[in-house]
Amino acid sequence: MRSTWLVTVTLVAAACSGDDGGERIDAPPADAPEVDAAVDAPLALVDAASDGVLAVDAAVDAAPPINPGFVTPTAVTKANLKQGGAWTELGDADWTCLGTPTADQAATTAIALTGRVTDFQVGGGVGAATVTAFPMLTASTSLGTATTSNLAATRGEFTLTAAPLPTGVRRYGFRIEATGYLRSYVLDRYLAPGAAQSILLDALAESTANALPAFVGVTRDATRGTTIGSMVDCLGRPVSNAVAAISTTAGTATLPAGANTFYFSAGSTSLPVRHTQAATMNKDGLFIVLDVVPVAPAYVQVWGFRTAAELASGTLTLLAEAPVLAEANAASIIDLAPRRAP
């Protein structure tokens, strides 16, 4: 996740430094503006029928509020680049790969993995964490387990042999469990068949899980889950002007009650902001969905307008979709790319 999250979340406020060298907070900064209880942006619910693996187009119809962060964008999706600490808009996002056949190959032999588990907030290694590989999205099936090092010089590092994927599955998920952390699922990771490789995984600390909602005036509900994601176009560039949500139906935006999407600031320190500050995906392509009701199946989706013609007609396209684990007191962390055909 960290290679795509171009700015690591660093929460800065009056707090004591922990042993990992970072600062954590449990509330927004003292000078943060108050958050109105009212919804900050209009809502449109997408009502679409699934057409399988190709992009799903849907006319946007007005509907009662369900997810205040899932609105009708007012601009075409754009691609962005960060240079010299500042974000630059490059032009329209590239969607030429959308719906085209994927190059993913199933892993039919064991894969030798080395890796590191890092703290999502501060980037330091997470020691004594249990890492379990599983086939997407059967988290109860273990394809290999390891424990991360807790030594100062190698904290967070692990070695794991990932067993082959079952027939029909091409991607791995990883479950991370550690003291002081939510159960964190890093999802939809592609591993090249047969090749020894390295992987970086994030885990969400309980303190961070409480602090991120506080920035937007929300208190985390431990009976619900959190999904954190990023979105890039076909050229791997962060996407803006799109909207994200959790859906209970593949191909259609069927939004569970209570879930609420927020987008990040794309600032030097990128943090979730209120809907009045970012009603749609910002230039860093980052989002967080809070208060996700435990439900199965669940899918994280990204919708947007690819062209001016789609914008004029009000026809949204489903740009990305992947299954997630909507689990109480747990976090799903995922990097999203344009959806492809099998």
Give the residue-averaged pLDDT of 40-54.
32
Q: pTM surpassing 0.75?
A: yes
Where is average pLDDT lowest: 33-47, 152-166, 186-200, 308-322? 33-47
Q: What is the pLDDT of residue 267?
A: 87
Q: What is the pLDDT of residue 23?
A: 33
Pair (186, 220) in one structural domain: no
Is 50 among the domain residues? yes
Give the residue-averaged pLDDT of 280-296.
97
User: What average pLDDT does the chain have?
Assistant: 85
Compare 281 and 42 and report the one with higher pLDDT.
281
- Highest mean pLDDT pick, 6-20, 28-42, 63-77, 154-168: 154-168
Q: Mind giving me the DSSP string for 187-241?
A: EEE---TT--EEEEEEE-BHHHHHHHHHTTT----TTSEEEEEEEB-TTS-BEES
Q: What is the pLDDT of residue 31?
A: 42
Pair (250, 281) in one structural domain: yes
Give the CATH number, domain containing residue 136. 2.60.40.1120
Q: How far apart are CA 18 and CA 10, in angstroms?
A: 13
Choosing from 173, 203, 233, the residue where a domain stops is 203
Choosing from 203, 229, 255, the residue where a domain stops is 203
| Residue 307, both tokens | 């062209």
305 three-state secondary structure:
coil
Give the residue-averaged pLDDT of 313-340.
97
Between strands 183-189 and 330-336, the pairing is parallel
Encode pLDDT of 215-233 as tens digits. Answer: 999 999 999 999 999 999 9
Q: What is the pLDDT of residue 59?
A: 52
In which domain, by residue range, is 134 found? Answer: 111-203
Pair (212, 328) in one structural domain: yes
Binned at pLDDT 50, 70 and 90, residue 189 comes out as very high
How many helices and strands (H and E) does the chain possess?
A: 2, 20
Pair (171, 222) in one structural domain: no
Q: Tally Cβ neighbours within 10 Å of residue 167.
A: 7
Give the residue-averaged pLDDT of 174-201.
96
The structural domain count of the chain equals 2
Give the residue-averaged pLDDT of 150-170.
96
Pair (224, 150) in one structural domain: no
Q: How far apart are CA 164 and CA 111, in angstroms?
A: 7
Would the pLDDT of 84 be above 80? yes
Encode pLDDT of 11-35 as tens digits. Answer: 333 333 333 333 333 334 444 433 3
Q: What is the pLDDT of residue 16?
A: 34
Pair (212, 287) in one structural domain: yes
Percent of the chain surpassing pLDDT 70: 81
Give the residue-averaged pLDDT of 319-333.
97
Pair (230, 243) in one structural domain: yes
Nearest to 131 by CA among 192, 200, 223, 196: 200
Give the residue-averaged pLDDT of 296-316.
97
Pair (189, 307) in one structural domain: no
Is 27 among the domain residues? no
Binned at pLDDT 50, 70 and 90, residue 53 comes out as very low
Binned at pLDDT 50, 70 and 90, residue 305 comes out as very high
Would the pLDDT of 58 be above 70? no
| Residue 31, both tokens | 């000078």
Residue 97 identity: C
Residues pairing with 243 in the sheet: 303
**Under a CB-based contact definition with an 8 Å cutoff, are residues 133 and 104 in contact?**
no
Choosing from 182, 203, 224, the residue where a domain stops is 203
Pair (213, 329) in one structural domain: yes
Is 154 among the domain residues? yes
Would the pLDDT of 102 be above 90? yes
Is 228 among the domain residues? yes
Query: Which CB contacts under 8 angstroms, 24+ apart, belong to 310-316?
Result: 310/57, 310/76, 311/73, 311/75, 311/76, 313/59, 314/59, 314/60, 314/72, 315/57, 315/58, 315/59, 315/60, 316/46, 316/48, 316/57, 316/58, 316/59, 316/60, 316/72, 316/73
Compare 11 and 105 and report the one with higher pLDDT.
105
Is 211 among the domain residues? yes
Residue 297 identity: P
Q: How far apart are CA 182 and CA 206, in angstroms?
A: 6
From the number of C-beta atoms within 10 Å of its C-beta (0-12, 13-18, 19+), residue 102 rates as middle
DSSP 164: P
Q: How far apart are CA 210 and CA 212, in angstroms?
A: 6
Pair (296, 158) in one structural domain: no
Binned at pLDDT 50, 70 and 90, residue 1 comes out as low
Pair (224, 85) in one structural domain: yes
Is 22 among the domain residues? no
Is 324 among the domain residues? yes
Is 215 among the domain residues? yes
In this structure, the dihedral spanned by the alpha carbons of residues 207, 211, 214 and 219, taken in order and rounded to 10 degrees, is: -20
Give the residue-averaged pLDDT of 286-305.
97
313 three-state secondary structure:
helix
Percent of the chain surpassing pLDDT 90: 76
Pair (159, 240) in one structural domain: no
Would the pLDDT of 62 be above 50? no
